Amino acid sequence: MVSTNFLDGKIKRLQREINQLENKRSKAVDDEASAIKKINRANDTISRSKQSSTIKTKEREIQRENNKIQNAKKKQADLLTKISKKNTEYNKAMTDLNNERQKEQNKIFKEQEKKINDYKIQQNLARDELAVQKMDEDQLKEYDVFISHSANDKDSFVNDLAEALKDANVSVWYDSDSIGWGKSIRQEIDNGLAYSKYGIVVISPSFIEKYWTNYELDGILSKEGATKSQIILPIWHNVTADQVQKYSLSLSNKLALNTGINTIDEIVENVKKLLN
């Protein structure tokens, strides 16, 4: 399979070659036009001159310029043939590039679809395991929001947010409260994601670098894709738009609250509006 980088390079090379050939053809056209002008001037001189030597000199000049015209015409024809061949190669390369890009896009779609299906399977397994442990699935606790965050942001923001949400009677899955000693972190996170209505994602420089935050975000994105409904509630914390865009285009396109603009009370009010 030909790579898109190879085809991009080939297309740029063909564009350069076509431009070079066009420049040569343009020069050949100019050479032909110049020779025609010289012939016209020579004919004008002949028509006005009575000296045989001058007439012969101009006739020889006309012959030379006629030869130049023929050479210029031949060169133009040869260049047009080469340009046509290069254009054919260029069009084929463009078609191949578009086909390869479509294949890559299809591959991405298939990977996303597999990720969503894997997530569904994982969540079903988590539900089954919980059903065995709890005896009755109806007794499983459901949460209004799951808070995905970096541990480095707990003291500066997340602890206060979790407490404010709980004070507002919002049920919160928060790792400090929900993962017991000796419990499987991965399993508890999966359970929390499966039984939470929304996922608050506190995006910060530290969040972008952590493993577990990426694992949680993948789960929330997959759940949103599977349910076709809004689940992710992003909050930007000491992070720029450029940082978010480089980390995740899908997140950067979502309307987010910002700790530099919105107070914790305002964030809690927005969550309550969604729940109501």
For residues 202 and 259, what is the distance between their CA atoms, to the nearest angstrom? 9
Long-range contacts from 117-126, C-beta under 8 angstroms, 24+ separation = 118/222, 119/218, 119/219, 119/222, 119/223, 119/226, 120/226, 122/190, 123/190, 123/193, 123/194, 123/223, 126/187, 126/190, 126/191, 126/194
Choosing from 216, 224, 266, 269, which is the catalytic residue? Answer: 216
Angle at 130 between CA 162 and CA 176, to 5 degrees: 25
Question: Is 129 considered catalytic here?
Answer: no
Tokens of 255: 């309307």
Q: Is 264 exposed, middle or buried (0-12, 13-18, 19+ CB in 10 A)?
A: middle
The set of catalytic residues is 216
